[in-house]
Amino acid sequence: MARNAIPSRPALLGMVVLAALSGCTSLAPEHQRPDVALPMVAAASSVPQAAGQAAALPGWQALVQDERLRQVVDLALQHNADLKVAALNVRKTEAQLRLSDADRWPTVNGVFSAQRAPNTSGVQTSTLQAGLQVSAWEVDFLGRLSSLSDAAQASYWASEAAQRSARLALVSQTVSAWLTLAADGEQLALAEKTLQDREASQALAALRYRVGALAEPDWRGVQALTAAARSTVAQARRQRTQDENALHALVGAPVPAALLPEPRIGALAEGRWLAEVPAGLSADALLARPDVMQAEQQLRAAEANIGAARAAMWPRITLSASAGTVSNELSNLFSAGTFAWTLAGQAAVAVFDHGRNRANVQVAEISRDAAVASYQKTVQTAFKEAADGLAGQTGWREQLAAQRAQLAAEAERHRLSKLKYDVGASSLLDWLDAERSLAAAQQAVVQVQLAELLNRVSLYKALGGDESTRSAAVASAKAASGAAR
């Protein structure tokens, strides 16, 4: 300790230089986006697009046309537990990033100490000291701490992307669940209508059976058809109740009855539920999907951890310093001429650690390789989902047109069968068979209508939704953040 002096210029200059050089070197591998083998996929869409321009996806409020469904999605965004967990994970990784950044800088403590002990003459003396102290500040020559900070930064961006991915998934799941409830409600209405028709036919058949105008096998066939219709109604009611329960659980709060679709025939065909999804398979758009960006940030974090593990194999240099006043009396503690300071350094290196540091490097490199594979799989999945959705746009529309043509034919067949039965040219069972075929065709149309709507939702999600636009803004923010760091 040197008293009655100020720190020398070389000492101050040395600390400034060390602080400036700290973290300038990094042993982390340079980041390169992994190559992914993808098939050539032709974009197919009936929505006209300007040549050379990528189609911009609307926000979910523009995609969803039904006001009740919009309110249900809003409820889900407010109350869904998974989305709350994702938001909390972002806050947690942000706090972890602040902790990691704080480790790169010295911690300055205010200290006060008092000591009383005999001197060499046996006289009791007091020593009082007050000042500032820096203990074991690591000089980050090889970027160990900066690599850990980079890993924390990447983990933060990954959690932010995960939150956006969870939001997009929640919107898609809520819309799909609500539409499924609407379709199953229409199926219930169709089943109840079929049951009413079968019960009316059975009442008529019972009269004919009593007077001997209907054979017993035909009578038993009528009873069987009515029982089957009654079973279908019970099944449809159970399914719709389960759909409601699933929607309530997904939203995270009870959904008011006024916001639920009413069970009626023709609901899917008459309603305007979803807008068309502008289609086009752009690699840049798919790479901006939040789940793809999450996978890339996880890869960046793994690469940064390699740098930290490599730097840990080299000597670790730490500095300790203190500056303050020292006096034998409290009244003179802050008087002139009582200033004192110390500066000490230490270099430590593992001489024998049973291979711990090398194993840490190996673990970090394997984690990086796993992150590469995970990224590649995520990109491949993104392209598959988008390609499936694009193929479904045309395929489901063609199937729906064919199914409606079949329904029209079955309706005409049913009408003619009823006329023939009324004039005695065909049996009751022939008419009921035509009625059963008509009901099956009506149910099939509802199923295909639902599938076409769900394909729009899946395609919207596969293309990243409006979250891809947000991802582009986030990417710019990340670039600015990286430059600042």
Residue with more model confidence, 467 or 33: 33
pLDDT at position 208 over 70: yes
439: part of which helix (H) or strand (E)? helix 428-462
Predicted local confidence at residue 476, as pLDDT? 52
Contact partners, residue 216, CB within 8 Å, separation at least 6: 209
In terms of Cβ atoms closer than 10 Å to its own Cβ (0-12, 13-18, 19+), residue 213 is: exposed
**Pair of tokens at residue 120:** 């060499």
Task: Of 34-38, 56-60, 476-480, give the lowest mean pLDDT range.
Answer: 476-480
| Amino acid in position 248 | H
End-to-end C-alpha distance for the chain, whole angstroms: 36
Predicted local confidence at residue 46, as pLDDT? 38
Reference 379, options 33, 32, 29; nearest CA is 33
Reference 149, options 2, 300, 33, 335; nearest CA is 300
Contact partners, residue 450, CB within 8 Å, separation at least 6: 179, 180, 183, 268
pLDDT band at 478 (very low <50, low <70, confident <90, very high): low
Predicted local confidence at residue 373, as pLDDT? 96
- DSSP code for 333: T
Structural domains in the chain, sorted by start: 56-104+142-314+355-484 (1.20.1600.10), 109-139+318-348 (2.20.200.10)
Distance (Å, whole) CA 232 – CA 246: 21
Distance (Å, whole) CA 472 – CA 446: 38
Residue with more model confidence, 3 or 250: 250
Residue 255 DSSP SS3: coil
Q: What is the mean pLDDT of residues 76-84?
A: 96
Give phi and psi for 105, each to the nearest 5: -115, 150
Structural contact between residues 459 and 285, judged by C-beta atoms closer than 8 angstroms = no
Chain position carrying tokens 């009582």? 338
Residue with more model confidence, 363 or 343: 363
Distance (Å, whole) CA 143 – CA 297: 19
Reference 166, options 62, 64, 249, 81; nearest CA is 81
pLDDT at position 165 over 90: yes
Structural contact between residues 306 and 351, judged by C-beta atoms closer than 8 angstroms = no
Distance (Å, whole) CA 366 – CA 305: 11
Which ranges in 103-143 belong to alpha helices (H)? none
**Pair of tokens at residue 99:** 């902790």
Q: What is the mean pLDDT of residues 460-466?
A: 87
Structural contact between residues 271 and 178, judged by C-beta atoms closer than 8 angstroms = no
Predicted local confidence at residue 47, as pLDDT? 39
Structural contact between residues 298 and 34, judged by C-beta atoms closer than 8 angstroms = no
Distance (Å, whole) CA 64 – CA 172: 10
Chain position carrying tokens 């523009």? 62
For residue 404, give Cα distances in angstroms to 273, 407, 438.
Answer: 19, 5, 11
What's the Rg (C-alpha) of the chain? 37
Predicted local confidence at residue 418, as pLDDT? 87
Q: What is the mean pLDDT of residues 277-291?
A: 80
pLDDT at position 362 over 70: yes
Predicted local confidence at residue 456, as pLDDT? 94
Reference 305, options 152, 112, 110; nearest CA is 152
Task: Of 190-194, 432-436, 475-479, give the lowest mean pLDDT range.
Answer: 475-479
Distance (Å, whole) CA 448 – CA 183: 10
Query: How far, in whole angstroms, is CA 69 from its chain's centroid?
Result: 21
